[in-house]
Amino acid sequence: MPPRRRSILITGATSGIGRALARIYAAPGFHLALTGRNQERLDAIRTECRESGADVTSASVDVRDRDKMAAWIRSVDDIRPIDLAIASAGITSGLGLGRSREDPEAVRAVFAINLIGVLNSIEPLIERMCARGSGQIAIVGSIAALRGLPYAPAYCAAKAAVHAYAESLRGTLVPQGVTVSLIVPGFVATALNKDMLTPKPLQMSDWRAARIIRRGLDRGASVIPFPRTLYYGAQLLRFLPIRWVDFMLGLAHVDIPETRERAVE
Ligand SMILES: NC(=O)c1ccc[n+]([C@@H]2O[C@H](COP(=O)([O-])OP(=O)(O)OC[C@H]3O[C@@H](n4cnc5c(N)ncnc54)[C@H](OP(=O)(O)O)[C@@H]3O)[C@@H](O)[C@H]2O)c1
């Protein structure tokens, strides 16, 4: 039987989880709309996905550019109505040796990419999917959203906002036929966390993460957490006395490089 034709938008497709998802969906019968900023890596993944038999549209766009994102996403949707949008683009930033305060410009960059960038990636599709009475929106959050960590205030806060947003959106959109899936990864070996000095319990490859995500998306899961042990462990922290948890988290030797991204007007 021929595969069901699907049109899939993936942000952050030039690296890590987004790129692994592009690879996993690249097959005949699929149309992939891929975006990221690095043109060379975008061209490379586009070629690779085409060689695997997918139709591919790509554009180098900064997720912070609301107008450009909306124009590109709508132009793709006009021709190949998108039935799955995955907002994966994101950065990390944090504290560590000799750095006990986040640079306000870095903080704003984290929020602009990890929160506003997600809105810019999915807002252009919400009304259209609702009008069609079908579609799926997937947002990449993080286990770091479940409990504020002393070494990554902006990252944890932006991801927590995205979690609450996805949860709220689900309540509104599901009755209109649109599925909302929140993806909650633990440690995945990608460029994002390669320079972080921290224990990375149960870290997995981007390929394995993409397989888990696809399985979850295929069954329309509301939340796709992995690895589950780490996810439930992090949930448990909420039930322990705050001072204990703060103390325990403070014992870990963690150094998360500060992002080089800065706020843009
Ligand atoms: N890796 C982990 O351990 C982990 C754990 C939990 C959650 N996550 C989340 O998973 C998502 C993907 O991260 P990853 O690990 O795959 O990281 P990654 O390998 O560094 O990939 C990040 C992607 O986001 C894109 N991106 C960053 N800033 C952008 C911007 N301003 N405009 C457009 N695209 C932008 C990058 O594209 P360009 O480089 O081309 O700009 C790249 O394709 C992120 O939301 C991250 O927070 C990751």
Verify whether ligand 1 is closer than 6 Å to residue 121 (CB atom): no
pTM: 0.97
Supply 200's token pair.
Answer: 């990375």
Tens of pLDDT along 206-247?
Answer: 999 999 999 999 999 999 999 999 999 999 999 999 999 999
Which stretches does DSSP call E strand in 17-129? 30-36, 55-60, 84-87
Q: Are 198 and 256 in contact (CB under 8 A)?
A: yes
pLDDT of 1 higher than 60: no
Residue nearest to atom 47 of ligand 1 (CA): 90
The arithmetic mean of pLDDT across residues 53-71, rounded, is 98
The arithmetic mean of pLDDT across residues 30-44, rounded, is 98
Which ligand 1 atom sits closest to the C-alpha of 183? 7
Q: Which H/E stretch holds residue 214?
A: helix 206-218
Verify whether ligand 1 is closer than 6 Å to residue 192 (CB atom): yes
Percentage, residues of the chain above pLDDT 70:
98
pLDDT of 16 higher than 50: yes
Tens of pLDDT along 110-156?
Answer: 999 999 999 999 999 999 999 999 999 999 999 999 999 999 999 99
Long-range interactions of 190-196: CB distance < 8 A, separation 24+: 190/15, 190/16, 190/17, 191/15, 191/16, 192/15, 192/16, 192/90, 192/91, 192/92, 193/92, 195/257, 196/92, 196/94, 196/254, 196/255, 196/256, 196/257
Q: Where residue 5 falls among pLDDT bands split at 50, 70, 90?
A: low
Verify whether ligand 1 is closer than 6 Å to residue 139 (CB atom): no
- Position 263 scores a pLDDT of 77
Q: Does 97 or 169 have the greater pLDDT score?
A: 169
